[in-house]
Structure 1
Amino acid sequence: MNNFVFTQKIYSYLLAAYRWYLLTPQRSLDEAYQAALQIKSIEDEHFNGQKIDVDSSSYSSSMMDYFELDLKKQLKIARMRLTEFRASRWFSNESNQKAARKTGIEYPSADIILEKLRFIDEVISKYTVADPEINSAIVTQPQIVKVDEVATQKSPAPLTTPSANKNIEQKLKPRRKADTTGVLPRSILGTISRLQVELDPNSEQDVVQSFRQAQRRTIISIRFILLLIIVPLLAHQLSKTLIVGPLISHFRQDETANVFINFEMEEEALAELQRFEERLKFENLIGLTPTLNPEAIEDKLKEKAAEIAEEFRGESANAIKNVFADIFSVVAFVWLLLVSKQSISVLKDFFDNLVYGLSDSAKAFIIILFTDVFVGFHSPHGWEVILEGISRHWGLPANRDFIFLFIATFPVILDTIFKYWIFRYLNRISPSAVATYRNMNE
C-alpha cells in the first residue's frame, strides 16, 4: 500500500513536471514580454517615450542609478527568457503539442506570439549596443599609461576623448593588447601617449570616466566569477538533497542494496575489519581489556562488521547521488555560460588587462609557478591525487592504467599549449617578460 501511494505521488510529480515543461515556451515569452512592458513604462513615464539614458541631466545621479538598476534587471530577464523561449521551441515538436492539448494546455496563436516578439525586440534593441553596465565596460577599456608597458596600438589613446569614445562604440569588438603590435618601440609610444593625455584639456574628465568604467568592469567580472562558483555548487547540493537523494534512497533500499559498488571499497572494508580483530586480540592478550572468550570476540566482530557495512552502504549510495548531482551542476554551469555572453566578454577584458598589466618579474613568476605545479617534475603526483579523488567521488575503481596514461599525455599537451602561448602572444606583447622568464628558469 505504501509503495502504491508513493508511486502515485511520483506519477503526480512527473505529470506536473511534464506540464511545466510543455508550458515553458509560453511562460518564457510572457515573462520576457512583461519585462519589456516594464521598460516601456519607465520610458513613457520618465523619459517621454525615449530611450533610458544614463547620462540624462533631467534627474539626479541617485535617481539615474535607480533607473539604471531597474533597466539592467529587466533587460537581463527579457534576454534570459528569450533564450529560454528559443531553446524550448527548438525542442518542441508535434507530439509535444498533441500532449499539451490532451492535458488541457492551449498555446496562443502565431499572430499573438509574433506581436509579442516584435514588441520585445523593439524595446530591447535600443539597448543592444550600449547596455548601461556591461557594454560600457566592453566598449571603452581604460588603460593606465606606463612608460614601458602600454601603447601597443599604432594610434595610442589610453584615455579617449568623448568624440573618440563615439567612434570606438561603433566597433563592437575592441582590439585587445594581444591582438596588435606597434611599429615603434612601446616606450616611445608610451611617452607620446602620456604627453597627449597631459596636454588634453578634458583629461581630468576622461580619467574619471575611465575609472568608473574600470570599476564597473571589475565589479561585473568578480560577480560573474562568484556566480560561476556558487551556482554549480548550489545546483549540486539542492539537487542532491531535494531530488536525487530521496529517489536514490527510495529505490535503493538499505536492506537489499549492495554494500560495495567496487572492489576497492570491499578491500578497504576487509582491511578495516582485520585491523579491528587484530587490535581486539592484542588488547585481550596484554590485559588491557577483560578476558574474552572466542564467542565474545566473534560477537564483537559481528557488531563491527555490521557497522562497517552500514558505513560503506551509505558511502556507495552517496557516490551514486554524486553522479546525478554533478550532472545537474554541469547543466547549471553550461546554462550560466549560455545566458552570460556579455559578462564573458567583460571577464576576458578584465583578465587581459590584469595579466598584461603585470610587471615582467610578476609575469615570469606566475608562469614558472603554473608550469611547475601542472607540468613540472612533481606534477604527476598531484594529477594522481586529483584523479583518485574524482574516482572516489563517483564510486569508481581507480584504474591505474588510465591514470598513468593520462599523466603521460595531458601534462605534455598542456605544456605544449602553454609554450605556444608564450611564443605566439607573450613574446610579441612583452618580450622583456619572456627574457625574464628564461633567466629565472635557468
Structure 2
Amino acid sequence: MSERWARTLLNGYRLAGAAVYPLIGPYVAWRASRGKEDPARRRERYGRPSKPRPPGPIVWIHAASVGETNAVVPLVRRILGYGVNVVLTTGTVTSARVADEQLGERVIHQYVPLDLKPAVDRFLDHWAPDLAIMAESEIWPMTILELGERRVPQVLVNGRLSDRSFQSWKKRPHIAEALFENLAHVVAQSDVDGEKFQALGARPVTVSGNLKVDVAPPAADDAAVDLLRSQIGNRPTWAAVSTHDGEEQVAAEVHRMLRNRHSGLLTIIVPRHPERAGELASQMSGMGLKVVRRTSSESIAPDTDILLGDTIGEMGLYLRLTEIAFVGRSLTGEGGQNPLEPAMLDTAVLSGRNVQNFRDAYQRLLDGGGARLVRDKEMLAGAVNYLLTNESARREMMAAGATTVEAMRGALDKTLRALDPFIHPLVVKARLETANGG
C-alpha cells in the first residue's frame, strides 16, 4: 500500500464517519440503557460541552477506562499544580466516577467524544486545547488527524502496544506512519513498547516505565476491611481477581480441590465485569458451594466457600483480605490484567501465561520472585496449595513483589521531563495572562 493510498483511506474514514454520525444516536442510547453511558451526559459523546471553557491555556488529557484514569491522576495533579487548566476525558462511567473521587472540581471532566468528525470538531472548537495527552494505547484516527490539522501537539504517555495491535499496524505500515507522524512525542512504558512505536514511524520515542507503578495502592474503607476480617477470622484465604469468563469456574474448582487440605478455606472471586455476578453465583451454587455476594447483606459464615466480589472500586478491600492473588484474563483470556496493585499490597501474585499486555511488569515481578505463572487449573491449585502450606515461601513472594514495585517507580518524573518542552510554554502563558488580568 502506497503512502498516497493510505492517506486516501484515512480521508475516506473521515468522510464515512461524517456520514454515519446522524445514525449513531440509537447506538449511544442502547449503551446508556445497559449502564455503559451516563444518560444525563450523553451529549458529551457528541462533543457537546457541559461546562464553559475557562480562560487561559488548556491541556486535554484522555484516559480510556479505570486503570488508565488511575495511572494519569498523579500526572493531572502535577499539571494542575503548574497553574494550567486540564480537561480530562474518559470513556466509561466507572472511570468518570474515579476522576470525580480523586480530582473533584479541580479538573474539568468530560466524556470523550466519539471518534467521528462532527463530534471531534465540536469538542475541539469549544475546548481549543493547547496540548493533547493520550494515555497507553488510545489511537483514535479521526481525533489524531483533526488535532494534526489544527497543529495541536499530541503526546502519547504510558504508551504500550499489544502484540496483536502491533502486528495489525505492521500490515498497514503507511496508514500507521500517516497517523503516528502526528504524534509530537511517544513516552513508552518499556523498551519493547518503544521499539514497536519506532518501527511504526513514531518519532521521537522515550521510555519512562509504567505510570501505574507511581500511583498509591488501591484504597479501602477501614471499617469494611475490619468487618470482613472479623467474619473471616483465622480461615485460610486466596483470591482470584480481575477474572474473565471461564476463570471463575477454574477458581471454584480449585477451591473444591483444596478445601479438604485446608480446613475452612475461603476463596475470594472478583470478576472483572461484576454484572456477571448473578450468573456466576448460580453456577457456583450448582457446584455445591455456598456463595456470599459482597452486595448482599449476608455475612461470611464459617461454612461460606466463596466471597463473590460483585462491586466496583473495592479491589483494595478484597486484596487486603488475603496474601495470595491470582490475576485473571491470563488463563482463559488473553493479555492479562495489571499485577502491580496486588504486589503493592504485599500479595503473592499468580497468573496464567497470557500476559502480553503487561509483559514488562510480569517479567520484573518474575525476575524478582514476586510472581509465578501457571499453565492450567491443576498447576494453579498446586501453586495455591504450596503458598498456603509454606508461610516462609509465601512471605518471601510478598516481600519480593513489594520490593520490585518500589524499584520500578520513577515513571512520573520521567514523563514530566518528556512533557516539559510542551508544558513549560503553557505555564509561562498562564502566568502572563494572570498577571495581565486575562
**TM-score range for the pair, normalised by the shorter chain length:** under 0.3
Structure 1 or 2: larger strand share?
A: 2
Query: TM-score, length-normalised on structure 2?
Result: 0.23
Task: Report which of the two structures shows the higher radius of gyration computed on alpha carbons.
Answer: 1
Higher relative contact order (CA 8 A, sep 6+): 1
